[in-house]
Structure 1
Amino acid sequence: MTFGFPEPDLIIFDCDGVLVDSEVLSCRCLSDVLAQCGIELSEHDTLDLFLGRSTAAVLQHYDGRLVPEDFLAALKAQVFQQFRRSLRSIPGVSGVISQLTMPFCVASSSDLDRVRLSLALTDLARYFGDRLYTAQMVARGKPAPDLFLHAAAQMQADPQRTLVVEDSVSGVSAAKAAGMMVWGFVGGSHYRSRDGRSMLIDAGADRVFDQMANFWKGA
């Protein structure tokens, strides 16, 4: 049993904010690139609007009218530059992953090349191989359940026997919509001045924790 639930057959990790401490970096880049397009959006508001969402969600939010054609390319270039300079893994996550005995994978709203770069820069790629699933692979990104259901299907796992580890409201909502157990993680730097615990519990998280050292311990 795991905190009153059956031991999962599969664990799905979100990437940004769960495996790597990237949310502040990426939201800062998004805010900067939007400013270059004449759109003022603070880092705080960027987190509120787009935490856990795909770049397609950004375009949809602005309805494609206010951002130039090279917006995504400019954003990607800035994010990659910032990641190469400053990205770090979440403390303790390597130790957790290395000791898992059940299958596990990644399901992220980020593009596949960004996920691969993030895992390579933080020496986590060796754990996941090609078990990487992204919003590019499904019709609807988080908070829709499509991505998590796709990952479970590819891993040949029952959604009801799947545990998701997420840091965002949209990710928690997606996991619950997929019929999965979900643990909210609030140990990323983007939650230092935010009440992430209440946010994720309100979204439906079955448990919330703030240190990877407590992954299998009390909340």
Structure 2
Amino acid sequence: MFIIFGTRGIKHTISESPVLMNSCPNCSNGSLVNKLYRRWFTLFFIPVIPLDVVDRFYECNNCKSAYNEKIKDILNQSQAVQENVQHQARYTYARALVAAMTHMSVIDGDFAAEEEREIMDAIEQFGDVKPELMQVMEQVKRDQNKDNFVFNLLNEARNELSAEAIMNILAQAGVVLLADGIIDKSEENLMKEYLIACGLPKDMYRTIIDKLQTKNIAEDEIEEVKPL
């Protein structure tokens, strides 16, 4: 009989922490719920023993934006300060996302047209900083991770954002790895290197794949009901 065991990160709501009502900087009317990621030992893929806490953060119950816990203090600042912090966090997120997506695309030596379209779609989401993101893409296409450029951007994002935001970055970046329908071992190892560069346990990889699969399922459902 084979025994299958491992670890995985599971998101929990911190029930004793007050909800920050109608305070999401992104959508304005969403409330921020305090959550944490805890690693669990799994047996036959079932979580059985709680392990260490990986990160605590706030998540909007409306738009699902995730914030470092310091957002609670920032919300007490002026509107101008809040907007500046939000803009900087968005810029940091975008740079890390484009760098990771591009690096994943060129790591096999073949920058496919489908992969470039995925990256350009991501860049268009941040139109106000599009020139800067285009520079990031071109630099990574040319130099890949020279001088740890990609890892440094991810680490910068981890210092400013939450673990949830980082895993959202890597899950969105992982879309380019599925261009051929599979993630091979070298691509899996690269994703784990990203996690380590962000100061996160490499076994959170499974959590990223869960996010990626959920995204793909949601897109499939949308495709099924799209009018002709």
* TM-score, length of structure 2 as denominator length: 0.31
By relative contact order (CA 8 Å, sep 6+), the higher-ranking structure is 1
Question: As a proportion of its length, which structure holds more helix?
Answer: 2
Larger Rg: 2
